[in-house]
Amino acid sequence: METYDESVDADSIHSSERDSWDDELDDDGSYSVSSADKSSTDGNNDADEVGGDIKVRFDTVTAEEIRCMEFATVSEAYDFYYRYGKYNGFAVRKSDSRVTGSGDNKVIKMKQFVCNKHGVREKRHLVRTDRKLEHRRLTRTQCGARLRVNYKAEKDRYVVTAFEETHNHELTPARFVHLHPVYRKISETDKAQVDGLQKRGIRTCHIMGYMVAQKGGYAGVGFTKKDLYNYFDKKMRAVIKDGDVAASLNYLNMKSSTDPMLYAEYAIDNINGRMNTLFWADGISRTDYFCFGDVLAFDTTYSKNKYNYPLVIFSGCNHHSQTVIFGAALVSNETTETYKWVLRCFLECMEGKQPKAVVTDGDGAMREAIKQIFPDANHRLCAWHLNKNAGENVKNGNNFLDGFSKAMYSNFTIDEFEEYWSHMIKENGVQGHPWVVKTYENRSLWATAYLRDNFFGRIRTTSQCEAVNAIIKSYVRKKGCIFEFMNNFDQALRDYRNNELVADFKSSSTDPVLSTQLPVIESHAGKIYTAAVFKEVRHEILKAGELIVRDKSEVGGTKIYILTRFCKDDYERSVFYDGSTFKCSCKRFESRGIPCSHIFYVMKEEHVDRIPDNLVLSRWTKDAKIQYLNISNCNDNVDSNTIAEARFGSYCTVLTDFCREASKKDGVYAQIMEDLMQLKIKYCSNDDAAVGTQKSAVGDLVMGTQQTSEQAPEPNVDMYSISISDSVSQIAEKKKRKASCNGQKSVQNKSLYDPTRYRGANVMTTTQVEVPTTSISMNQQMFPMQSMMPMIHPMMQQMHMQPMYPIYGMQSGMQTGLLQQVIRSSKNN
């Protein structure tokens, strides 16, 4: 029995199949066709026989010669017509076929290939009334050009039974042929190139330009810019086929295999089971915070993701005065409760270590959240945002802006600031301006005069966060998915960390050229400070040459120097020196962490040739990280668990690289294992806790506009997270630490575990993913949580878990027992 197949477009053919056809076309414009019967072509003097194959030249082949051709397979026949059409300026597609048999006995009896303008568009497509998109332009003209082959069983070959070479339309000029969809493709080698360029953050339009230059023009590329965009889009859709959130959590899961310190936590909307907010920080970020987290810049920027979710970046300043990223979060709205949830996650991630100072952009919800979660931190408003707002609100030229900047940055005393501010606003006529009045009321949050007693390092603005966001935007395409965003965020992190590596090399392998009048002190500064910080210290040493002693006295063993500046009689600073400690009234060391020019002048007067240890802030030294991680006795200011976490991250980073390289070497396995076991015996005990894993199924985010503080519902439940790797005692400890971080609990939150209280309410619950794995199908993540499990606290949602780190001492099946402990503990509580 014969069956009849409708035509299929050649566009549906896989690109790799078309690649092979391109490769088989010889440089001289000829094409080889297999031949089993030489007698059929012996009379053709224009064809060359090569090894049993007939080489056909497309510029000389005639219709009669084509009608005498035979092919071993249908693919070979199409291959020939594909090349013939491309050479002669028309596109081809597969058309009718007749098939007999089925399964393994299926035989194609007839196959026809036609010009792409064969036939006409069906009328039903033209008369549709529910059409949403505009009609595509007509391409078909009922062209009769075709090639038909039939199977001859006696020859076991396909012979040409019909060939029509006449077209009822003009053929495509050579300069346009490459634009036919059937002749456009991205080869495997091109895919490898464009994939590598995209991973490095190169924009698609720039990748296309590079390929055009490489191939010598658009015709040589073989594909269009739209094809390239479609290729990247199709590849990304394949990655997130089980859901964007599922792919993102799986990405974190894969990262955890090489980064056991990875911390991720997300909030779930109990109404639709979809992810509401996501926070994450890798091991290096956590280690950086333990070393440099005394000052935290906290800013919300608007990243280009298709959900319009704002990005919250936690950043700081390292010992090279470079930006370091401590963590990031994607939030569904900018309410106080959402920011509080993010800050709690951050605090939990960083083992409860609170920053000493926080710099923000002045958002009201953010400021309130910081007051509640970081009550002891000194808060500073971003200077860049204040200057921007001043320019937008006060329209009187640049005079006020210049005066406002001076009020903000100058190292005034409080009295000097008040006197200057009063004079400045009168001079500019803005005494009653609403913005000026409101800004002045908050002067303790932005004026250096009120903040110079507090350490802010070199951070006055959140521009570090904005610079990070600008770099991320260069990697992320517009309206990209969360999975793509996280990949590119990691790329930005790698760039920042490479900058630190380069700065470490520069500081450790080079020495500064001594150029001041105090070379001994300058030399000592060059040995202890990083190259970037040394420049600022040297500038202070140079400024000491401008100072003059106005008065010198001694009270109770403390020497007091009153200094002024050359040709500036109204300038006065006081330096106190008791034989071991220097203190200056300018408060530069307290606010910036480096000695001021006044102290350097008094050091010269007192013949002190080294910077005293109490004036060397370790966070600015070359060995800042090593000194922090090498602390042997932890005091009240440094929690032992914090130090342990930081060391753990550093060890894991080094050993992961070591294991990757050592595994490639032959003949050293036994020696390496022996050395590692000796290290373990020397430094490790056998009572280490097992490592657990956890991840919950969760639905994708909803695309739409971002919710404002007024639109977003306020969660009325106090949220905290718990890892299933925690023992029962660790659970109690985490609860105590969380309680101390959050302050007083609300009375309403005492019924947190009542499963009926929040039924139908739009509240968020949380699930922590420290080393996340799960056997739950990713397809489940596309559906609401209520359809999978009852609405209970995440601690009590049972899952089937898979161990991820058996090499860390975890035995198969250990997860279940540990999870049951957590469930029993939560029920008892």
Radius of gyration for the alpha carbons in the chain, expressed in angstroms and rounded: 36
Looking at residue 13, its pLDDT comes to 40
Long-range contacts from 501-505, C-beta under 8 angstroms, 24+ separation: 503/320, 503/322, 503/530, 503/531, 503/532, 504/320, 504/622
**% of the chain with per-residue pLDDT over 90:** 27
Q: Give the pLDDT score at 147.
A: 95
Specify the pLDDT at position 476: 60
**What is the tens place of the pLDDT at every residue in 272-297?**
777 788 899 988 888 899 889 889 88
Per-residue pLDDT for 784 more than 90? no
Which pLDDT value is given to residue 95?
Answer: 92
pLDDT of residue 475: 60
Q: In the structure, what pLDDT confidence band is assigned to residue 468 with cuts at 50, 70 and 90?
A: low
Confidence at residue 744, expressed as pLDDT on a 0 to 100 scale: 39
When mean pLDDT is compared over 215-219, 417-421, 671-675, 781-785, the highest value belongs to 417-421
Q: Where does the pLDDT of residue 466 fall: very low under 50, low under 70, confident under 90, or very high at 90 and above?
A: low
- pLDDT of 469 reads 62
**Does 49 have pLDDT greater than 60?**
no
pLDDT at 33: 60
Residue 628 has pLDDT above 80, yes or no: no
Query: In which residue are the tokens 């500046």 written?
Result: 565
pLDDT tens by residue, 658-711: 888 888 888 888 888 888 888 888 877 654 433 333 344 555 666 654 544 444
Q: Given a cut of 70, is residue 465 above it in pLDDT?
A: no
Residue with tokens 């530069």: 588
User: Which of 199, 207, 182 minimizes the C-alpha distance to 235?
Assistant: 199
Q: Is the pLDDT assigned to residue 271 strictly greater than 90?
A: no
pLDDT of residue 113: 95
Query: Rounded to an integer, what distance in angstroms lies between the CA atom of residue 775 and that of residue 696?
Result: 10
Q: Which of 237-246, 666-675, 736-745 has the lowest mean pLDDT?
A: 736-745
Predicted local distance difference test score (pLDDT) of residue 199: 78
Give the lowest-confidence range in 4-8, 116-120, 218-222, 231-235. 4-8
Mean per-residue pLDDT over the chain, rounded: 75
The pLDDT assigned to 135 comes to 83
Give me the pLDDT at residue 507, please.
Answer: 92
Only one residue has tokens 């920042």, namely 496
Residue 120, classified by CB atoms within 10 Å of its CB into exposed (0-12), middle (13-18) or buried (19+), is exposed
* pLDDT value at residue 276: 80
Helices 398-409 and 414-428: angle between axes, nearest 10 degrees: 180
| pLDDT given at position 523 | 95
Mean pLDDT across 6-19: 41
Q: 117 pLDDT exceeds 80?
A: yes
Task: Please say if the pLDDT value at position 347 is more than 60.
Answer: yes
Helix axes 15-24, 74-88, angle to 10 degrees: 70
Please say whether the beta carbons of 325 and 314 come within 8 A. yes
Helical spans, DSSP H, in 362-475: 364-373, 383-393, 398-409, 414-428, 434-441, 448-451, 463-475
What average pLDDT does range 133-139 have in this prediction? 85
- C-alpha 678/C-alpha 663 separation (Å) is 19
> Where are any strands of DSSP class E within 140-258?
146-152, 157-164
